[in-house]
Amino acid sequence: MVLCPVIGKLLHKHVVLASASPRRQEILSNAGLRFEVVPSRFKEKLCKASFPTPSAYAVETAKQKALEVARRMHQKDLRAPDVVIGADTIVTIGGLILEKPVDKQDAYRMLSRLNGKEHSVFTGVAIVHCSDRDGRLHTEVLDFYEETTVKFSELSEELLREYIDSGEPMDKAGGYGIQALGGMLVEHVRGDFLNVVGFPLNHFCKKLAQLYCPPRPGDVRGAERDSIPAVDTFEDLSDLEGGGGSDPAWGGRGGRGGEEAGGAPPQAPGPRDADLNGAAEEKRPPFPTGLLELMEGFKASKALFTACKLNVFDVLRDQGPLKAVDIARKINASVCGTGRLLEACAALGLLHKTDAGYSNTEAADLHLVSDSAHSLHGLAVYNDSHVWDLFTHLDLAARDGAEQARGASGTKAERLFQSAETTLLFMRAMHGLSKLTARDVATAFDLSRFTSACDLGGCTGALAHELAREYPRLQVTVFDLPDVTEHARGFQPDGQRTEHVRFVPGDFFTDALPRAQLYVLSRVLHDWPDDRVHHLLSRISSCCEPGGGVLVAEAAAMEEEEAAAARRRGLQPLGLLLLGAGRPRSARELGQLLQRHGFRDVRVAPAGDLLRVVLGTRAAP
């Protein structure tokens, strides 16, 4: 039985739910939706700190879940489903995102944070419409989120332990399930209860109504009410699929003809109806939230960069929570200015603010403290001191080209290693970024058949050490400019297997390349124009014995990515416009480049959320 009329619009479509959650399945089934369950294989490893809000993170995760299922089904069946629904539910408190606990101790930490406090539950939802044109998958995504506020009672230690021992928290975001035993923890709920369970059905139905029933001019009064339209306001499903006439006022989607089925012809509008029609035609466009966020985005970046430059996160990791006056004294800054910076960082979810003062979020401790094992502090400082100035002259680059822009900004690429300070600044930035992705690159393919590798432009050796750890028989040579290899020793990890990595100074365009079975190019090719890339690959090919290989890791060109990942990578061409004549290349282009230079059996694999890895094997001459 279809409980919500708008659900009926999907009855004759192949609908897929990209979730194994029995709670989401139950909610949608009870509403009358018929669907196939295909759990997503998307690895939920998005960097939470890179999103402006928790809701943006939940929406992006939901979107990537749905897109992964759509792509996989299209590849497997040579056709895609009509609609794929993705969802992701998170719990947030004080800017910290709580997902499913990994063990009982993690569940206890989560529930202790929530004890006696209010928190927010966000569910991101993505509705992906799929089509197949010329054998290629095309998708259109509508996404949204719902927020519900939940207040926990003051709970005893004994009650928390008993609840955790029940096993219920282990597959629930935030460590509790409100629809079951977890309901005894909750004092009150403000908002959609089903959203806390795992799926905001009411908001979902409203979005379906927007998709399948855009308001007609005569429906303005109804549109003013925030409710799900009645069933008789919908066009027939067959009209959406090409049957029936086309109403230009409906954007060609296929509305009703001159008469409603079983009803009288529409009457000419009266004076008041005419006024309403005019008002509908002149209704205001949607509020441009996304554009305003883009316009204001540079302020958020600068706040993050400045806090890193002033070592705010280092101070709070060691001594927090602290008041603004104490932080100002420790970083040698004004109290007023420091207070504003701290407020901005708290608003961005980088800091917690309590009565005791400011303290780091989990993401800040993990990625923004300068000496953290997973630190991106160096990348933030490099962006602030170097890249920020380049983008200040983006208008010149757009008008005159890369060379003129570099001259105007006074930051030519050849000046990058003019001093030890700038060299180290660059190396710290690349080291943090490489450590973030090294394991994904090293494990994208099974490389155990190789016993020697040469990482060209390997900088600090972060990827080289990961390769050596992953493959015990592998000896890795890092080949980079002398100024880089001279400082690389300061980045070497403690522990075993450092003897399997050596550094050799040289220029891979002019100097003899070290002999190896496998050559590695990670984030190198996008820096160079096609002629230089062909020259480099030709040199590698001449050194590589038959059966040897080349491994290329690059951020894929924008057309191969989806949603926010594509938007992030979409900034790369702007950077390349300033930094040189290179460009991002798709995985297909990279594969064709390798084939042109004698490499066969070319394969492509993802490396986390940022990179694509291409592996080619040198064919016999």
What would the pLDDT profile of 571-618 be if each residue is shown by its tens digit?
Answer: 444 444 444 445 778 888 888 999 999 999 999 888 877 788 999 999
DSSP state of 514: P
Dist. CA 91–CA 519, nearest whole Å: 44
CA distances from 563 to 28, 57, 63, 449 (A): 25, 12, 7, 36
Residue 29, C-beta contacts closer than 8 angstroms, at least 6 positions apart: none
pLDDT score, position 142? 93
DSSP state of 117: S
Split the chain (621 residues) into runs of 10 and give each run's mean pLDDT. 65 90 91 91 82 90 94 82 93 85 87 90 94 85 94 88 88 85 89 92 89 59 43 35 34 34 41 44 68 82 92 90 92 90 90 91 91 86 80 70 45 49 80 86 92 94 92 93 86 72 93 94 87 93 92 70 42 43 76 91 83 88 68
Radius of gyration over alpha carbons of the chain, in Å? 28
pLDDT score, position 415? 46
* Count of alpha carbons within 13 angstroms of residue 270, beta-carbon side: 1
The helix or strand, by DSSP H or E, that contains position 118, with its residue range, turns out to be strand 118-133
pLDDT score, position 397? 64
Dist. CA 432–CA 418, nearest whole Å: 22
* Mean of per-residue pLDDT scores for the chain: 79
Dist. CA 298–CA 291, nearest whole Å: 13
Dist. CA 135–CA 77, nearest whole Å: 11
pLDDT score, position 407? 42
* Count of alpha carbons within 13 angstroms of residue 243, beta-carbon side: 5
Closest CA to 115 of 186, 10, 202, 170: 186
Catalytic residue among 82, 88, 480, 483: 88
Q: ∠ CA 256-261-262 to the nearest 5 degrees?
A: 155
Closest CA to 127 of 207, 42, 56: 207
Instruction: Determine whether 132 is an active site residue.
Output: no
Closest CA to 269 of 284, 261, 256, 279: 279
CA pseudo-torsion sign 599, 604, 608, 609: positive
pLDDT score, position 496? 53
**Rounded (10°) CA dihedral 93, 99, 101, 106:** -30
pLDDT score, position 247? 35
Question: 3-state secondary structure string, 551-618?
Answer: EEEECCCHHHCCHHHHHHHCCHHHHHHHHCCCCCCCHHHHHHHHHHCCEEEEEEEEECCCEEEEEEEE
| Residues 176 and 111: beta-carbon distance below 8 Å | yes
Q: Which residue stretches of 225-322 are H helix?
A: 237-240, 271-281, 289-309, 312-319
Give the DSSP per-residue string, 61-101. HHHHHHHHHHHHHHHHHSS--SEEEEEEEEEEETTEEE---
pTM of the model: 0.49
pLDDT score, position 572? 44
Closest CA to 563 of 507, 495, 609: 609
pLDDT score, position 426? 82
